Amino acid sequence: MNETRTASPRMPQETPSARRRQIVDTAIELFGKWGFTGTSVDQIAAAVGMKKGSLYYHFESKQEILDAIHAEVLEALFTQAGFAAGVITQAGLDPCEQLRQVIENHVEYQWRNVRYLVVYDRERHLLPASARRKAHEQETEYTEAVVEILRRCQESGCVDATLDLEVLTYALFGALTTLRRWKKARLASRARRHEIATNLHALFTIDHVHPQSPG
């Protein structure tokens, strides 16, 4: 009687893009802990579980890994700027609601990209000049959109018009960017992130600045 042989199932092979993702994610953790200069290619390769020579198949150098991290931050900044610009042009949305949406979106942005942003802040001086210029352009575009929203809020009475617009802008971004220093577990809950955004919005709106006396 002939025996029917069943072929052993093949384990799915990891794609190059998935391997690159793993290398970048691992490098983020190590750069965040030890810094770029304090982390070696050998350490990254060992943490990923591959030989050093195999890592060079995916990235030519440690700098190229850092550039990939920064590229993702720039893409996220581009998305942020686009969101803020879209909020400004959205018909029927009052300035106070525009501000609320931008704050809530930025809280989510911090949550999604916290590991990247920590490395970006620390190592951005190592970016090539062209990448630094691009980063500056994206940050400026985003900031200008938020300034415009705050200006409209002052005109509509949502934000105290006697406050200096530049100070307001620095205060808002200072509060938002500080979130990346929080432990990620503190932001893990979507409800908690919404609560944080709601509280930040309240800090900058007129009801908080000049609370109404009970009638």
Whether 207 shows a pLDDT value over 80: the answer reads no
| Residue 101 contacts residue 87 (beta carbons within 8 Å) | yes
Task: Report the candidate in 182, 176, 181, 183 with the shortest Cα–Cα distance to residue 199.
Answer: 176
User: What would the mean pLDDT of 184-192 be, rounded to a whole number?
Assistant: 83
Amino acid at 128: P
Q: What sign results for the dihedral spanned by CA atoms 146, 151, 153, 158?
A: positive
User: What would the mean pLDDT of 19-35 be, rounded to a whole number?
Assistant: 93
| Residue 30 contacts residue 39 (beta carbons within 8 Å) | yes
User: What would the mean pLDDT of 136-158 be, rounded to a whole number?
Assistant: 92
pTM over 0.85: no
Contacts of 30 (CB under 8 A, 6+ apart): 39, 43, 44, 47
| Residue 200 contacts residue 130 (beta carbons within 8 Å) | no
User: What would the mean pLDDT of 20-35 be, rounded to a whole number?
Assistant: 93
Q: Which of 33-42, 105-114, 150-159 has the lowest mean pLDDT?
A: 105-114
Q: What's the pLDDT score for residue 6?
A: 45
Report the 10 Å Cβ neighbour count for 65: 25
Q: What's the pLDDT score for residue 8?
A: 43
Average pLDDT score over the chain: 86
* pLDDT cut 90: percent of the chain above it: 53
| Residue 81 contacts residue 142 (beta carbons within 8 Å) | yes
pLDDT in tens, 163-178: 999 999 999 999 998 8
Whether 19 shows a pLDDT value over 80: the answer reads yes
Q: Please, which pLDDT band fits residue 7 given cuts at 50, 70 and 90?
A: very low
| Residue 206 contacts residue 157 (beta carbons within 8 Å) | yes
Q: Residue 137 is encoded by which pair of tokens?
A: 């352009």
Residues 105 and 95: their CA atoms lie apart, in Å, by 15
| Residue 95 contacts residue 153 (beta carbons within 8 Å) | yes
Residues 189 and 74: their CA atoms lie apart, in Å, by 26
Q: Which of left, alpha, beta for 49 (phi over 0: left; psi -120 to 50: alpha)?
A: left
User: What would the mean pLDDT of 120-146 be, rounded to a whole number?
Assistant: 88
pLDDT in tens, 50-109: 999 999 999 999 999 999 998 888 888 888 888 888 888 887 889 999 999 999 999 998
Whether 113 shows a pLDDT value over 90: the answer reads no
- The tokens 């029917």 sit on which residue? 4
